[in-house]
A and B are shown apart, each in its own frame.
Chain A
Amino acid sequence: MTPIDYFIHLDNIYLKAIIYVVLAPVLGGLLAGVDRKISARLQSRIGPPILQPFYDVFKLFSKEKIIVNKFQNFNVILFFVFMVFTGSLFFLGGDLLLVIFALTLAGVFFALAGFSVNSPYCHIGAERELIQMMSYDPMIILVAVGMYQVTGTFRVDAIAMYDGPLILYLPGVFLGYLHVLTIKLRKSPFDLAMSAHAHQELVSGLKTEFSGTTLALIEIGHWYENVLLLGIIYLFFAFNSFIGVAAMLVLYFFEIIIDNTYARFKWELTFKSTWLVTALFGAANIIILYYAMQP
Protein backbone atom coordinates (compact mmCIF):
# COMPACT_ATOMS: atom_id res chain seq x y z
CA MET A 1 0.00 0.00 0.00
CA THR A 2 1.55 3.26 -1.10
CA PRO A 3 1.28 6.43 1.02
CA ILE A 4 -1.24 7.89 -1.44
CA ASP A 5 -3.50 4.83 -1.20
CA TYR A 6 -3.15 5.03 2.56
CA PHE A 7 -4.20 8.70 2.46
CA ILE A 8 -7.23 7.94 0.28
CA HIS A 9 -8.39 5.15 2.58
CA LEU A 10 -7.84 7.18 5.76
CA ASP A 11 -11.12 7.48 7.65
CA ASN A 12 -10.32 10.33 10.02
CA ILE A 13 -11.09 13.50 8.05
CA TYR A 14 -9.47 15.78 10.65
CA LEU A 15 -6.19 13.94 10.23
CA LYS A 16 -6.60 14.15 6.46
CA ALA A 17 -7.21 17.89 6.66
CA ILE A 18 -4.15 18.45 8.86
CA ILE A 19 -1.95 16.40 6.52
CA TYR A 20 -3.20 18.44 3.56
CA VAL A 21 -2.90 21.88 5.16
CA VAL A 22 0.65 21.17 6.36
CA LEU A 23 2.03 19.20 3.43
CA ALA A 24 0.52 21.08 0.48
CA PRO A 25 2.51 24.33 0.85
CA VAL A 26 5.70 22.34 1.43
CA LEU A 27 5.15 20.32 -1.75
CA GLY A 28 3.98 23.36 -3.68
CA GLY A 29 7.01 25.39 -2.63
CA LEU A 30 9.39 22.57 -3.52
CA LEU A 31 7.71 22.22 -6.92
CA ALA A 32 8.12 25.96 -7.50
CA GLY A 33 11.81 25.68 -6.52
CA VAL A 34 12.40 22.74 -8.86
CA ASP A 35 10.53 24.69 -11.53
CA ARG A 36 12.90 27.66 -11.20
CA LYS A 37 15.95 25.40 -11.17
CA ILE A 38 14.89 23.48 -14.29
CA SER A 39 13.94 26.74 -16.06
CA ALA A 40 17.41 28.10 -15.28
CA ARG A 41 19.01 24.91 -16.58
CA LEU A 42 17.00 25.12 -19.79
CA GLN A 43 18.39 28.65 -20.25
CA SER A 44 21.92 27.35 -19.42
CA ARG A 45 22.06 29.26 -16.14
CA ILE A 46 22.96 27.85 -12.72
CA GLY A 47 19.71 28.98 -11.14
CA PRO A 48 18.63 29.65 -7.57
CA PRO A 49 18.65 27.00 -4.83
CA ILE A 50 15.69 24.60 -4.66
CA LEU A 51 14.50 26.22 -1.40
CA GLN A 52 14.46 29.70 -2.98
CA PRO A 53 10.62 30.09 -2.96
CA PHE A 54 10.63 29.50 0.81
CA TYR A 55 13.38 32.10 1.29
CA ASP A 56 11.31 34.55 -0.77
CA VAL A 57 8.17 34.00 1.27
CA PHE A 58 9.94 34.19 4.64
CA LYS A 59 11.60 37.40 3.51
CA LEU A 60 8.26 38.88 2.49
CA PHE A 61 6.92 38.19 5.99
CA SER A 62 9.68 40.36 7.48
CA LYS A 63 9.08 43.34 5.18
CA GLU A 64 7.11 46.47 5.92
CA LYS A 65 3.37 46.33 5.18
CA ILE A 66 2.23 48.98 2.75
CA ILE A 67 -1.55 49.05 2.50
CA VAL A 68 -3.05 51.45 0.00
CA ASN A 69 -6.66 50.42 0.53
CA LYS A 70 -8.39 48.64 3.40
CA PHE A 71 -10.27 46.25 1.08
CA GLN A 72 -7.03 45.07 -0.47
CA ASN A 73 -5.93 42.76 2.34
CA PHE A 74 -9.48 41.62 3.01
CA ASN A 75 -9.78 40.25 -0.52
CA VAL A 76 -6.36 38.65 -0.50
CA ILE A 77 -7.04 36.90 2.80
CA LEU A 78 -10.36 35.63 1.43
CA PHE A 79 -8.52 34.37 -1.66
CA PHE A 80 -6.09 32.49 0.57
CA VAL A 81 -8.80 31.05 2.83
CA PHE A 82 -10.92 29.88 -0.10
CA MET A 83 -7.89 28.36 -1.79
CA VAL A 84 -7.11 26.32 1.32
CA PHE A 85 -10.82 25.45 1.62
CA THR A 86 -10.97 24.30 -2.02
CA GLY A 87 -7.92 22.11 -1.61
CA SER A 88 -9.27 20.67 1.65
CA LEU A 89 -12.59 19.80 -0.02
CA PHE A 90 -10.72 18.03 -2.78
CA PHE A 91 -8.26 16.11 -0.63
CA LEU A 92 -10.90 15.21 1.94
CA GLY A 93 -12.81 13.55 -0.87
CA GLY A 94 -15.64 16.04 -1.26
CA ASP A 95 -17.80 16.87 -4.24
CA LEU A 96 -15.81 17.64 -7.39
CA LEU A 97 -18.34 20.20 -8.63
CA LEU A 98 -18.22 22.03 -5.31
CA VAL A 99 -14.41 22.01 -5.53
CA ILE A 100 -14.59 23.67 -8.94
CA PHE A 101 -17.03 26.35 -7.81
CA ALA A 102 -14.99 27.08 -4.68
CA LEU A 103 -11.90 27.38 -6.89
CA THR A 104 -13.74 29.89 -9.06
CA LEU A 105 -14.78 31.81 -5.96
CA ALA A 106 -11.15 32.02 -4.84
CA GLY A 107 -10.27 33.30 -8.30
CA VAL A 108 -13.01 35.93 -8.09
CA PHE A 109 -11.67 37.22 -4.77
CA PHE A 110 -8.20 37.41 -6.30
CA ALA A 111 -9.53 39.49 -9.19
CA LEU A 112 -11.47 41.68 -6.72
CA ALA A 113 -8.23 42.30 -4.83
CA GLY A 114 -6.80 43.62 -8.07
CA PHE A 115 -9.81 45.87 -8.65
CA SER A 116 -9.77 47.23 -5.09
CA VAL A 117 -6.65 49.38 -5.62
CA ASN A 118 -6.20 52.39 -7.85
CA SER A 119 -3.26 51.26 -9.94
CA PRO A 120 -4.10 50.86 -13.66
CA TYR A 121 -1.65 47.97 -13.90
CA CYS A 122 -3.61 46.10 -11.25
CA HIS A 123 -6.87 46.84 -13.03
CA ILE A 124 -5.70 45.54 -16.40
CA GLY A 125 -4.18 42.52 -14.65
CA ALA A 126 -7.49 41.83 -12.90
CA GLU A 127 -9.41 42.19 -16.16
CA ARG A 128 -7.09 39.72 -17.82
CA GLU A 129 -7.49 37.39 -14.85
CA LEU A 130 -11.25 37.47 -15.41
CA ILE A 131 -10.77 36.75 -19.11
CA GLN A 132 -8.56 33.80 -18.21
CA MET A 133 -11.20 32.52 -15.80
CA MET A 134 -13.81 32.80 -18.53
CA SER A 135 -11.54 30.77 -20.83
CA TYR A 136 -10.66 27.92 -18.48
CA ASP A 137 -13.84 27.44 -16.45
CA PRO A 138 -15.89 25.55 -19.12
CA MET A 139 -13.10 23.02 -19.57
CA ILE A 140 -12.71 22.44 -15.85
CA ILE A 141 -16.45 21.85 -15.49
CA LEU A 142 -16.24 19.38 -18.39
CA VAL A 143 -13.57 17.49 -16.42
CA ALA A 144 -16.09 16.98 -13.60
CA VAL A 145 -18.84 16.04 -16.07
CA GLY A 146 -16.61 13.51 -17.84
CA MET A 147 -15.55 11.91 -14.59
CA TYR A 148 -19.21 11.66 -13.55
CA GLN A 149 -20.12 9.97 -16.82
CA VAL A 150 -17.51 7.27 -16.33
CA THR A 151 -17.68 6.66 -12.60
CA GLY A 152 -21.27 7.71 -11.85
CA THR A 153 -20.29 9.93 -8.94
CA PHE A 154 -18.96 13.42 -8.25
CA ARG A 155 -17.26 12.41 -5.02
CA VAL A 156 -13.48 12.72 -5.27
CA ASP A 157 -12.73 9.78 -2.98
CA ALA A 158 -15.01 7.49 -5.02
CA ILE A 159 -13.38 8.66 -8.26
CA ALA A 160 -9.92 8.08 -6.76
CA MET A 161 -10.93 4.54 -5.77
CA TYR A 162 -12.43 3.74 -9.19
CA ASP A 163 -10.70 0.69 -10.65
CA GLY A 164 -10.78 1.43 -14.37
CA PRO A 165 -8.29 3.78 -16.00
CA LEU A 166 -10.12 7.10 -16.43
CA ILE A 167 -7.55 8.33 -18.93
CA LEU A 168 -8.68 5.71 -21.48
CA TYR A 169 -12.29 6.91 -21.28
CA LEU A 170 -11.44 10.61 -21.22
CA PRO A 171 -8.39 11.24 -23.44
CA GLY A 172 -9.95 14.34 -25.01
CA VAL A 173 -10.99 15.81 -21.67
CA PHE A 174 -7.49 15.15 -20.40
CA LEU A 175 -5.89 16.98 -23.35
CA GLY A 176 -8.26 19.89 -22.80
CA TYR A 177 -7.39 19.93 -19.12
CA LEU A 178 -3.67 20.04 -19.98
CA HIS A 179 -4.30 23.10 -22.14
CA VAL A 180 -6.16 24.78 -19.28
CA LEU A 181 -3.51 23.70 -16.77
CA THR A 182 -1.01 25.97 -18.52
CA ILE A 183 -3.30 28.92 -17.79
CA LYS A 184 -3.93 27.87 -14.20
CA LEU A 185 -0.26 27.31 -13.43
CA ARG A 186 0.45 30.76 -14.93
CA LYS A 187 2.89 29.37 -17.47
CA SER A 188 4.22 31.26 -20.39
CA PRO A 189 1.91 31.31 -23.38
CA PHE A 190 -0.92 32.31 -21.06
CA ASP A 191 0.67 34.28 -18.19
CA LEU A 192 -1.29 37.39 -19.05
CA ALA A 193 -2.43 38.56 -15.65
CA MET A 194 0.88 38.57 -13.76
CA SER A 195 4.49 38.39 -14.80
CA ALA A 196 5.89 35.34 -13.09
CA HIS A 197 9.47 35.59 -14.28
CA ALA A 198 10.30 38.44 -16.60
CA HIS A 199 9.47 42.05 -17.22
CA GLN A 200 6.28 42.77 -18.99
CA GLU A 201 4.10 45.64 -20.08
CA LEU A 202 2.02 45.53 -16.89
CA VAL A 203 4.88 45.79 -14.35
CA SER A 204 3.67 42.85 -12.20
CA GLY A 205 0.06 42.87 -13.37
CA LEU A 206 -2.43 41.90 -10.73
CA LYS A 207 0.05 41.79 -7.87
CA THR A 208 1.68 45.16 -8.57
CA GLU A 209 0.28 46.89 -5.48
CA PHE A 210 0.79 44.01 -3.05
CA SER A 211 3.85 43.87 -0.87
CA GLY A 212 5.14 42.14 2.23
CA THR A 213 2.83 39.71 4.01
CA THR A 214 0.02 40.10 1.46
CA LEU A 215 2.30 39.08 -1.41
CA ALA A 216 3.53 36.13 0.66
CA LEU A 217 -0.10 35.02 1.16
CA ILE A 218 -0.68 35.21 -2.59
CA GLU A 219 2.41 33.05 -3.19
CA ILE A 220 1.36 30.43 -0.63
CA GLY A 221 -2.18 30.46 -2.07
CA HIS A 222 -0.72 29.63 -5.45
CA TRP A 223 1.26 26.74 -3.98
CA TYR A 224 -1.97 25.30 -2.59
CA GLU A 225 -3.59 25.84 -5.99
CA ASN A 226 -0.79 24.06 -7.85
CA VAL A 227 -1.05 21.02 -5.57
CA LEU A 228 -4.82 20.92 -6.15
CA LEU A 229 -4.36 21.10 -9.94
CA LEU A 230 -1.83 18.27 -9.88
CA GLY A 231 -4.30 16.32 -7.72
CA ILE A 232 -6.86 16.58 -10.53
CA ILE A 233 -4.25 15.10 -12.91
CA TYR A 234 -3.82 12.25 -10.44
CA LEU A 235 -7.56 11.42 -10.70
CA PHE A 236 -7.11 10.53 -14.36
CA PHE A 237 -4.45 7.96 -13.42
CA ALA A 238 -5.91 6.92 -10.05
CA PHE A 239 -6.03 3.21 -10.97
CA ASN A 240 -2.34 2.93 -10.04
CA SER A 241 -0.74 5.37 -7.63
CA PHE A 242 2.76 4.93 -9.09
CA ILE A 243 1.55 5.80 -12.57
CA GLY A 244 -0.45 8.67 -11.07
CA VAL A 245 2.54 10.26 -9.34
CA ALA A 246 4.73 9.68 -12.39
CA ALA A 247 2.11 11.36 -14.59
CA MET A 248 1.93 14.37 -12.27
CA LEU A 249 5.71 14.85 -12.32
CA VAL A 250 6.11 14.25 -16.07
CA LEU A 251 3.30 16.66 -16.91
CA TYR A 252 4.69 19.33 -14.60
CA PHE A 253 8.04 18.98 -16.37
CA PHE A 254 6.20 19.22 -19.69
CA GLU A 255 4.59 22.47 -18.50
CA ILE A 256 8.00 23.88 -17.57
CA ILE A 257 9.29 23.12 -21.08
CA ILE A 258 6.22 24.81 -22.62
CA ASP A 259 6.85 27.78 -20.31
CA ASN A 260 10.39 28.15 -21.61
CA THR A 261 9.71 27.65 -25.30
CA TYR A 262 6.67 29.84 -25.93
CA ALA A 263 6.21 33.59 -26.12
CA ARG A 264 3.17 35.13 -24.49
CA PHE A 265 -0.13 35.00 -26.39
CA LYS A 266 -2.51 37.92 -26.65
CA TRP A 267 -5.72 37.57 -24.69
CA GLU A 268 -7.82 37.07 -27.86
CA LEU A 269 -5.71 34.08 -28.91
CA THR A 270 -5.77 32.69 -25.37
CA PHE A 271 -9.54 32.91 -25.25
CA LYS A 272 -10.20 31.52 -28.73
CA SER A 273 -7.69 28.68 -28.51
CA THR A 274 -8.97 27.59 -25.12
CA TRP A 275 -12.61 27.50 -26.16
CA LEU A 276 -11.64 25.76 -29.41
CA VAL A 277 -9.76 23.09 -27.47
CA THR A 278 -12.67 22.82 -25.03
CA ALA A 279 -15.14 22.22 -27.88
CA LEU A 280 -12.86 20.05 -29.98
CA PHE A 281 -11.46 17.75 -27.30
CA GLY A 282 -13.58 18.19 -24.19
CA ALA A 283 -17.11 18.44 -25.53
CA ALA A 284 -16.48 15.94 -28.36
CA ASN A 285 -15.09 13.41 -25.88
CA ILE A 286 -18.13 13.77 -23.67
CA ILE A 287 -20.61 13.45 -26.57
CA ILE A 288 -18.88 10.32 -27.87
CA LEU A 289 -18.76 8.89 -24.37
CA TYR A 290 -22.48 9.59 -23.93
CA TYR A 291 -23.42 7.53 -26.99
CA ALA A 292 -20.82 4.83 -26.31
CA MET A 293 -21.96 4.27 -22.75
CA GLN A 294 -25.68 4.12 -23.51
CA PRO A 295 -27.10 0.70 -22.67
Chain B
Amino acid sequence: MFLKKSPWIIHYDATSCNGCDIEVIASLTPMYDLERFGIINTGNPKHADIFVVTGSVNESSRQVVKNIYDQMPNPKVVVAVGICATSGGIFRECYNVLGGVDKVIPVDVYVPGCAARPESIIDGIIKALDILERRLVEFRKAKTEARRQEKRLRRYHLND
Protein backbone atom coordinates (compact mmCIF):
# COMPACT_ATOMS: atom_id res chain seq x y z
CA MET B 1 0.00 0.00 0.00
CA PHE B 2 2.85 2.38 0.83
CA LEU B 3 5.09 0.68 -1.69
CA LYS B 4 3.15 2.43 -4.42
CA LYS B 5 3.67 5.83 -2.84
CA SER B 6 7.43 5.69 -2.43
CA PRO B 7 9.13 3.62 -5.12
CA TRP B 8 12.87 4.22 -5.22
CA ILE B 9 14.62 3.50 -8.49
CA ILE B 10 18.11 2.48 -9.48
CA HIS B 11 19.21 3.21 -13.01
CA TYR B 12 21.90 1.18 -14.76
CA ASP B 13 23.36 1.83 -18.18
CA ALA B 14 23.96 -1.60 -19.76
CA THR B 15 26.02 -0.48 -22.78
CA SER B 16 23.52 2.08 -23.95
CA CYS B 17 24.39 4.91 -26.35
CA ASN B 18 23.46 7.36 -23.53
CA GLY B 19 20.37 8.59 -25.42
CA CYS B 20 17.96 6.82 -23.09
CA ASP B 21 20.10 7.63 -20.03
CA ILE B 22 19.77 11.33 -20.74
CA GLU B 23 16.00 10.89 -21.04
CA VAL B 24 15.87 8.98 -17.72
CA ILE B 25 17.78 11.81 -16.06
CA ALA B 26 15.53 14.32 -17.85
CA SER B 27 12.45 12.84 -16.17
CA LEU B 28 13.98 13.78 -12.79
CA THR B 29 14.43 17.45 -13.76
CA PRO B 30 12.02 20.27 -12.74
CA MET B 31 10.26 19.93 -16.12
CA TYR B 32 8.88 16.45 -15.37
CA ASP B 33 9.74 16.04 -11.66
CA LEU B 34 9.44 12.34 -10.85
CA GLU B 35 9.81 13.15 -7.15
CA ARG B 36 6.21 14.36 -7.00
CA PHE B 37 5.26 10.64 -7.04
CA GLY B 38 7.74 10.03 -4.22
CA ILE B 39 10.23 8.50 -6.64
CA ILE B 40 13.90 8.92 -5.73
CA ASN B 41 16.86 7.92 -7.86
CA THR B 42 18.85 6.15 -5.15
CA GLY B 43 21.81 4.74 -7.05
CA ASN B 44 21.99 1.99 -4.44
CA PRO B 45 20.54 -1.46 -5.16
CA LYS B 46 19.91 -2.19 -1.47
CA HIS B 47 17.49 0.74 -1.20
CA ALA B 48 15.82 0.36 -4.59
CA ASP B 49 12.44 -1.08 -5.55
CA ILE B 50 12.49 -0.48 -9.31
CA PHE B 51 15.43 -1.39 -11.54
CA VAL B 52 15.57 0.79 -14.66
CA VAL B 53 17.89 -0.65 -17.31
CA THR B 54 18.84 1.02 -20.58
CA GLY B 55 20.85 -0.38 -23.47
CA SER B 56 21.31 -3.72 -25.17
CA VAL B 57 23.13 -5.89 -22.67
CA ASN B 58 26.49 -7.29 -23.78
CA GLU B 59 28.87 -9.83 -22.31
CA SER B 60 30.68 -7.35 -20.05
CA SER B 61 27.57 -5.75 -18.56
CA ARG B 62 25.64 -9.02 -18.17
CA GLN B 63 27.15 -9.91 -14.79
CA VAL B 64 26.64 -6.37 -13.48
CA VAL B 65 22.94 -6.41 -14.37
CA LYS B 66 22.54 -9.76 -12.66
CA ASN B 67 24.46 -8.59 -9.58
CA ILE B 68 22.36 -5.46 -9.15
CA TYR B 69 19.16 -7.45 -9.56
CA ASP B 70 20.26 -10.00 -6.95
CA GLN B 71 21.24 -7.31 -4.46
CA MET B 72 17.84 -5.61 -4.55
CA PRO B 73 15.53 -6.64 -1.68
CA ASN B 74 12.15 -8.16 -2.56
CA PRO B 75 9.59 -7.06 -3.77
CA LYS B 76 11.23 -5.60 -6.88
CA VAL B 77 10.39 -4.91 -10.53
CA VAL B 78 12.47 -4.33 -13.64
CA VAL B 79 11.71 -1.70 -16.29
CA ALA B 80 13.57 -1.96 -19.61
CA VAL B 81 13.83 1.52 -21.14
CA GLY B 82 14.49 2.03 -24.84
CA ILE B 83 14.25 -0.29 -27.80
CA CYS B 84 17.77 -1.66 -27.19
CA ALA B 85 16.83 -2.81 -23.70
CA THR B 86 13.57 -4.36 -24.88
CA SER B 87 14.89 -6.31 -27.87
CA GLY B 88 18.40 -5.23 -28.81
CA GLY B 89 17.19 -2.69 -31.38
CA ILE B 90 19.53 -2.07 -34.28
CA PHE B 91 22.32 -3.85 -32.41
CA ARG B 92 20.36 -7.09 -32.22
CA GLU B 93 22.48 -8.89 -34.81
CA CYS B 94 25.84 -7.83 -33.34
CA TYR B 95 28.06 -10.72 -32.23
CA ASN B 96 28.70 -9.36 -28.74
CA VAL B 97 25.17 -8.24 -27.87
CA LEU B 98 22.73 -10.41 -25.94
CA GLY B 99 19.75 -8.47 -27.29
CA GLY B 100 17.58 -7.22 -24.48
CA VAL B 101 17.58 -7.23 -20.71
CA ASP B 102 15.14 -10.15 -20.53
CA LYS B 103 17.91 -12.51 -21.66
CA VAL B 104 19.53 -11.97 -18.22
CA ILE B 105 16.82 -11.07 -15.71
CA PRO B 106 12.99 -11.16 -15.81
CA VAL B 107 11.58 -7.87 -17.13
CA ASP B 108 8.14 -6.58 -16.08
CA VAL B 109 7.62 -3.41 -18.15
CA TYR B 110 9.00 -2.68 -21.62
CA VAL B 111 9.28 0.98 -22.63
CA PRO B 112 10.08 1.19 -26.37
CA GLY B 113 11.47 4.20 -28.21
CA CYS B 114 14.80 5.37 -29.56
CA ALA B 115 15.35 7.25 -27.40
CA ALA B 116 12.36 6.66 -25.11
CA ARG B 117 10.69 9.98 -24.26
CA PRO B 118 10.52 11.09 -20.61
CA GLU B 119 6.70 10.91 -20.77
CA SER B 120 6.78 7.26 -21.77
CA ILE B 121 9.48 6.47 -19.18
CA ILE B 122 7.32 8.00 -16.44
CA ASP B 123 4.32 6.08 -17.80
CA GLY B 124 6.31 2.84 -17.72
CA ILE B 125 7.44 3.41 -14.13
CA ILE B 126 3.89 4.23 -13.02
CA LYS B 127 2.74 0.97 -14.70
CA ALA B 128 5.46 -0.87 -12.81
CA LEU B 129 3.97 0.36 -9.52
CA ASP B 130 0.89 -1.84 -9.96
CA ILE B 131 3.12 -4.85 -10.58
CA LEU B 132 5.12 -3.90 -7.49
CA GLU B 133 1.94 -4.05 -5.41
CA ARG B 134 1.17 -7.54 -6.71
CA ARG B 135 4.76 -8.60 -5.97
CA LEU B 136 4.33 -7.47 -2.37
CA VAL B 137 1.30 -9.73 -1.94
CA GLU B 138 3.22 -12.66 -3.42
CA PHE B 139 6.24 -11.86 -1.26
CA ARG B 140 4.13 -11.86 1.91
CA LYS B 141 2.56 -15.17 0.94
CA ALA B 142 5.97 -16.70 0.29
CA LYS B 143 7.25 -15.40 3.60
CA THR B 144 4.42 -16.93 5.64
CA GLU B 145 4.84 -20.19 3.71
CA ALA B 146 8.57 -20.24 4.46
CA ARG B 147 7.89 -19.58 8.12
CA ARG B 148 5.40 -22.45 8.25
CA GLN B 149 7.89 -24.78 6.60
CA GLU B 150 10.54 -23.80 9.08
CA LYS B 151 8.20 -24.42 12.00
CA ARG B 152 7.39 -27.85 10.65
CA LEU B 153 11.07 -28.67 10.26
CA ARG B 154 11.71 -27.55 13.80
CA ARG B 155 8.86 -29.64 15.15
CA TYR B 156 10.26 -32.85 13.67
CA HIS B 157 13.90 -31.83 14.33
CA LEU B 158 14.70 -32.10 10.65
CA ASN B 159 16.88 -29.03 10.48
CA ASP B 160 19.86 -30.23 12.52
**A positions within 8 Å CB-CB of B:** 36, 40, 43-49, 52, 55-56, 58-59, 62-66, 199, 203-204, 207-212, 215
In the complex, the chain A residue whose C-beta lies closest to that of B3 is A59
Q: Contact: B33 with A40, CB < 8 Å? A: yes
CB of B35 within 8 Å of the partner chain: yes
Q: Annotate B52-83 by CB proximity to A: 1 below 8 A, 0 otherwise.
A: 00000000000000000001011100000000
Shortest Cβ gap from A138 to chain B (Å): 33
- A48-B136 Cα distance, complex, nearest whole Å: 23
Q: Point out the residue from A46, A59, A66 that lies within 8 Å of B6, measured CB to CB.
A: A59
Stretch at the interface among B43-51, B96-104, B118-126, B152-160: B43-51
- A171-B137 Cα distance, complex, nearest whole Å: 56
- A210-B43 Cα distance, complex, nearest whole Å: 14
- A52-B8 Cα distance, complex, nearest whole Å: 12
Q: Contact: A52 with B43, CB < 8 Å? A: no
Q: Is the interface of A mostly helix, strand, loop or mixed?
A: loop
Q: Contact: B46 with A66, CB < 8 Å? A: yes
- A40-B43 Cα distance, complex, nearest whole Å: 20
Q: Contact: B43 with A46, CB < 8 Å? A: no
Q: Contact: A48 with B41, CB < 8 Å? A: no
Q: Point out the residue from B3, B33, B38, B139 that lies within 8 Å of A49, measured CB to CB.
A: B38
- A212-B74 Cα distance, complex, nearest whole Å: 10
CB neighbours (8 Å) of A208 from chain B are 44, 46
| A211/B136 contact (C-beta < 8 A), A45-B33, A63-B73 known | no
- A48-B7 Cα distance, complex, nearest whole Å: 12
In the complex, the chain A residue whose C-beta lies closest to that of B37 is A48
Number of A-B contacts (CB under 8 A): 69
In the complex, the chain B residue whose C-beta lies closest to that of A200 is B43
Q: Contact: B73 with A66, CB < 8 Å? A: yes
Q: Contact: A211 with B2, CB < 8 Å? A: no
User: Which of under 10, 10 to 19, 20 to 34, or 35 or more describes the interface residues of B?
Assistant: 20 to 34
- A47-B30 Cα distance, complex, nearest whole Å: 9
CB of B18 within 8 Å of the partner chain: no
CB neighbours (8 Å) of B3 from chain A are 59, 62
In the complex, the chain B residue whose C-beta lies closest to that of A44 is B30
Q: A65, A204, A211, A215: which has the most chain B beta carbons within 10 Å?
A: A211
CB neighbours (8 Å) of B49 from chain A are 59, 63
CB neighbours (8 Å) of A212 from chain B are 73
Q: Contact: B44 with A52, CB < 8 Å? A: no
Q: Point out the residue from B30, B43, B44 that lies within 8 Å of A43, measured CB to CB.
A: B30
In the complex, the chain A residue whose C-beta lies closest to that of B43 is A199
- A74-B49 Cα distance, complex, nearest whole Å: 25
Q: Contact: A203 with B43, CB < 8 Å? A: yes
- A65-B73 Cα distance, complex, nearest whole Å: 7
CB of B127 within 8 Å of the partner chain: no
CB neighbours (8 Å) of B38 from chain A are 48-49, 52, 55-56
In the complex, the chain B residue whose C-beta lies closest to that of A214 is B46
CB neighbours (8 Å) of B136 from chain A are 62
Q: Annotate B10-47 by CB proximity to A: 1 below 8 A, 0 otherwise.
A: 00000000000000000000100101111001111011
CB neighbours (8 Å) of B36 from chain A are 40, 45-48
- A81-B38 Cα distance, complex, nearest whole Å: 28
CB neighbours (8 Å) of A59 from chain B are 2-3, 5-6, 49
| A55/B6 contact (C-beta < 8 A), A40-B35, A47-B36, A64-B74 known | yes
- A256-B37 Cα distance, complex, nearest whole Å: 21
| A48/B35 contact (C-beta < 8 A), A62-B136, A64-B74, A211-B73 known | yes
- A258-B46 Cα distance, complex, nearest whole Å: 29
CB neighbours (8 Å) of B35 from chain A are 36, 40, 45, 47-48
Q: Contact: B44 with A203, CB < 8 Å? A: yes
CB neighbours (8 Å) of B46 from chain A are 66, 208-211
